[in-house]
Structure 1
Amino acid sequence: MTALNLYQLRSFLTVSEEHSITRAASRLHLAQQAVSSQIRQLERALGVTLLVRTSRGVLLTPAGEELAAGGKAVIADADALVERVRAVAAGQAGRLRLVCKPHATAEFAIEVAEAMEAAVPGVVIELVTVSTLPEELELLASGRADAAFLWTPAGDGSLRYAEVREDRRMVALPEGHRLASRESVVLADLADEPVIVPKVVVSQDVLRHWLAEPRPDGRPALRGPAAQRIEDRLILVARGRGVWLAPEPLAAYFPAPRVRWVPVVDAAPSYLAVVWTARAPESLVSRLVAEVRRITGWAGD
């Protein structure tokens, strides 16, 4: 099998495009003699004549036309292979296992995965969905996921994170509630309302965030019943057992019957973040954060 020298092939393709060894040499930043020598070496290796020199440049022989037609694909494949090899060596290719809760990321998770795979040669984004924060944290801790989307605080100080979206806080109210027809409310309006407590919290910091504590007057929130699943919390709200504070995307994802969602204008926003462990490939995570922020239009620090 004849070994095809890519350096010589690249020179030949440049000559075939320019129809001139002089112009090809200029494009390649080589001497004319060097380009002519490479063409002769390529012809000897293939055992064919590729070019016919004339007073007005060069003409391709039928063999030269065939090599020019197929050689471009060979060079393109070789260049792509080099890029993939360099990407792997730089830690930019491989697999990134990304865990998310659909109610937090439904509008952009697939777009992010496709953007990453288009932007980084050879990378594969594996999306894994869960329903609760503890499930996300367990996948990260066990090494079955490299990164995740979750609202901060995460309740795990070992995780690294970068914020990618700011979400205003909403309150879920029963449809007949005295505040349900309001355009917005403030936390003082909710001072005497029991708040549904999530059972899935993993630290006091996380619990205080979801209950919007402390309140403006310094008091804690009035605790209502606890529920693990979001659907169960909304049932409790609909039955008048309490109100529930949540980021705005949940209001769109969970339009529950007999529940009204109202913005809480003075509650601290929730920040969705990309979080990752020390084991995660940081070059991929860095690119992931950049792609997510581009898609969400993040304007924060």
Structure 2
Amino acid sequence: MDGLLRIKQTAISQPSTETASESCRSHRMLIVHSLSKRFQLEHGDLTAVDNLSLEVHPGEVYGLLGPNGAGKTTTMRMILGLLEPDGGYASVDGLTTQTDPIGVKSRLGFVSANDGVYSWLTVREMLLYFADLYDVPHQLAEQRCENLSDLMEIRNLLDRRAGDLSTGQRQRVTLVRGLIHDPPVMLLDEPTRGLDVVGVQTIFDYISILRQAGKAVVVCTHRLDEAERLCDRFGLLHKGHLQYTGTMQELRDATGHKTLVDIFVDLIRN
């Protein structure tokens, strides 16, 4: 049974802090190994990502953090297979981008600040269309559509045109769309950008649901205060290099600073 279907009765207004079991955490759902990417510019090469390695376990939320230009989005695009790396690879649920890029894509869910909904379709039509793209059997896709709509409180929107929805409603639809094929790994790129307080809380609740369902989650953001609340472990990127990685306590021990903001300010200044 789908992990998300098992928790369809969860009230998203009361996010849980429980993570996956220790036995699940022993499995590395996402492995990034020595990823590198260089771009040729008019005045020389730019190394956007430099020999980046990290891993994320089921039920874990990993914050890939850094200022603008640190290499976060480039890393995401290489994991998603939208950008070919100059070196290294990503492995998702045992499949690698080198040997099975299509299989990797099928095991990834992606949510970004840009909703990209299809305005001329109803919400139901769009969700079932994306399920079909991932070869989800129609009956199962309909079941997931119903259950996820209950989970994210959009059932009353299913037969409305996506173009007629408010910003907050479109956001919830986008979150459901990212899960319609029940991927084991979820990538969230700046998910709270431009959202109000209610919208940000929706993202927090959504990540809690992903954690309960045993998904491996990567949150890419420069909102460091939010990251401290959301994430189990962190990777701090600066100029393409992974400068620090670990839990909040491990980062404090390594740097002597108490907050992510203090750590980054010191990192950038030096």
TM-score of the superposition, structure 1-length normalised?
0.23
Question: Which structure has the larger Rg over C-alpha atoms?
Answer: 1
TM-score of the superposition, structure 2-length normalised?
0.25
